[in-house]
Amino acid sequence: MNPWQGGGSAFLKKAEEIAKDVLAAEAPRIDRDATWPEKGLRTLLSEGFGGLVVPRQYGGKGQGLLMLARVCEILSKECPSTGICFGMHCVATSVMSVNATDAQRENFLNPICEGKHITSLSLSELGTGIHFYLPQTSLTAVSPDCYSLTGSKVFVTNGAHADSYVVSAVAGDRGAPAGQFSCVVIPNNSEGLTWGKPWDGIGMRGNSSRTMTLQDVRIPRANLLGREGDQIWYIFNVITPFFLVAMAATYLGVSDSALNEARMHVMRRQHVHTGGLSGAPVIQHRFGKLWGMLDRTRRLVYGAAASFDNGDPDALISIMASKAEVADSAVEIVNESMTLTGGRGYSEGSKLSRHLRDVRAVHLMSPTTDLLRTWIGRSLLGVPLLAD
Ligand SMILES: Cc1cc2nc3c(=O)[nH]c(=O)nc-3n(C[C@H](O)[C@H](O)[C@H](O)COP(=O)(O)OP(=O)(O)OC[C@H]3O[C@@H](n4cnc5c(N)ncnc54)[C@H](O)[C@@H]3O)c2cc1C
């Protein structure tokens, strides 16, 4: 059966098949060699996931944040690098889709929906760190139909492997107010675009989160997304919700998998003097606590994502809170799962050893936990979110 005709549960079943049949086998090698998860991503694309969040009228699957969350979680149980690479593709496709022109549909969204084009999001810069809404990369109109971009981006997931990148830049004054920047699509084969050395993170090693240098990169004006300088709207209506939900769901997947590893160990483990480890009350109690944390944070993410899909005007604050809560709980769940799994989990090459390294990225991927809590506080106190 074509899963795309079978409704939401059929999509999820297909994602689970891909996670089990492709990602599970690939993940140890991806982590060991820090290779970009090409096989998993190409399989997702060939099975129709490329246009997951692209509106149906543009040839996509027309899915929202809840489906994105569920798919990223499923993928990340086996390979969080694939989860986040796919997630960033979806964030970038959502930015492209909002106000897509005919030319942008033809050049980018059609091949994305046909599974022939991978894209990614390129916002972060060394100079402004976690403040991704303050790009310093310059966008200069060199003729009525051509822009030139110069600058440098850091931690670009899918770096050097995607077919295009949604890149933020400022036209004119680099000190423009926060959020007053533009986003353009830069094809990977653009002249003047070069890549730094391969990504060598302690975790998320398949991400290919590389540095991108743009030296007088010329792109057609037709690649401008929306209008010049209007991205503050995109930050809070598209980029932040999609980015946060994709990341939160990725680390929900890591937490779920870690807890399952611990459960399998404890259910199998027998001691000669006391019998099954699962009989120890303190172990039972710890599982009860960890499962509650996982269930609570999953419900927060899914609930916030569903609110956004239903047009709730307060959904963004719930999405921000859910990612911050997932970040705290994911680090604790994985850490505790490692303890519960004893020496076996602590062995080099174990799935838990990967999860322990992968999960630490959750706090530092922007909007970081600190930034999110500050934004939530500002929102409650009536202070502008981008006050600094
Ligand atoms: C695996 C991975 C994948 C990524 N993928 C992408 C991607 O696809 N696209 C993209 O654009 N970016 C991406 N990033 C970048 C990411 O979103 C962050 O922007 C980046 O990691 C920030 O790093 P930094 O070292 O500059 O942090 P810094 O700015 O140096 O911050 C360091 C710490 O200080 C805190 N901090 C910073 N400023 C303040 C302040 N004013 N007040 C209080 N605390 C503060 C931060 O919360 C953080 O904990 C990725 C990063 C990683 C690690």
From its phi and psi, is residue 48 left (phi > 0), alpha (psi between -120 and 50) or beta?
left
pLDDT of residue 254: 98
Rounded to 5 degrees, φ, ψ at 167 are: -115, 135
Peptide bond into 367 cis (omega under 30): yes
157 lines ligand 1 (CB under 6 A): yes
Report whether pLDDT(1) > 60. no
Question: Does any ligand 1 atom lie closer than 6 A to the CB of residue 247?
Answer: no
CA distance 50 to 11: 12
pLDDT recorded at residue 349: 87
Residue 130 alpha carbon to ligand 1 centre in Å: 4
Q: Hey, how many other C-beta atoms are within 10 angstroms of the C-beta on 69?
A: 27
- Binding site membership of 130 for ligand 1 (Cβ less than 6 Å): yes
Q: What is the dihedral of CA 375, 377, 383, 388, to 10 degrees?
A: -40
The whole-model pTM stands at 0.95
By DSSP bridging, strand 164-171 and strand 138-143 are parallel
For the segment(s) 121-229, the CATH number from 2.30.30.90, 2.60.40.10, 2.40.110.10, 1.10.10.10 is 2.40.110.10
* pLDDT of residue 301 exceeding 90: yes
Q: What's the pLDDT score for residue 171?
A: 82
What is the reported pLDDT for 10?
86
* CATH superfamily label, 232-381: Butyryl-CoA Dehydrogenase, subunit A, domain 3 (1.20.140.10)
C-alpha distance from residue 373 to each of 81, 177, 302, 369 (Å) = 25, 22, 19, 6
- What's 20's DSSP letter? I
Contact 370 CB / ligand 1 (< 6 Å): yes
- Tell me, which fold does domain 3-118 have in CATH? Butyryl-Coa Dehydrogenase, subunit A; domain 1 (1.10.540)
The percent of residues above 70 in pLDDT, for the chain, comes to 96
| Domain 3-118 identical in fold to domain 232-381 | no
CA angle centred on 323, ends 327 and 68, rounded to 5°? 120
Ligand 1 center to 62 CA (angstroms): 30
Q: Look at residue 232 and tell me whether its pLDDT is greater than 90.
A: no
Mutation test residue for ligand 1: of 130, 208, 242, 373, the one with most atoms within 8 Å of CB: 130
**Closest residue to atom 33 of ligand 1, CA basis:** 364
Where do the structural domains in the chain lie, given as residue ranges?
3-118, 121-229, 232-381
Please work out whether the CB of residue 155 comes within 6 Å of at least one atom of ligand 1: yes
Q: Which residue has the tokens 């979680």?
A: 73
**101-133 per-position pLDDT tens digit:** 999 999 999 999 999 999 999 999 999 998 988
Better pLDDT: 176 or 186: 186
Query: 9 CB contacts (<8 Å, ≥6 apart)?
Result: none
Which atom of ligand 1 is least distant from the CA of 201? Answer: 1
The predicted structure's pLDDT at residue 6: 60
Q: Taken in order 160, 164, 168, 174, is the CA torsion positive or negative?
A: positive
Q: Quick one: pLDDT at residue 64? A: 96
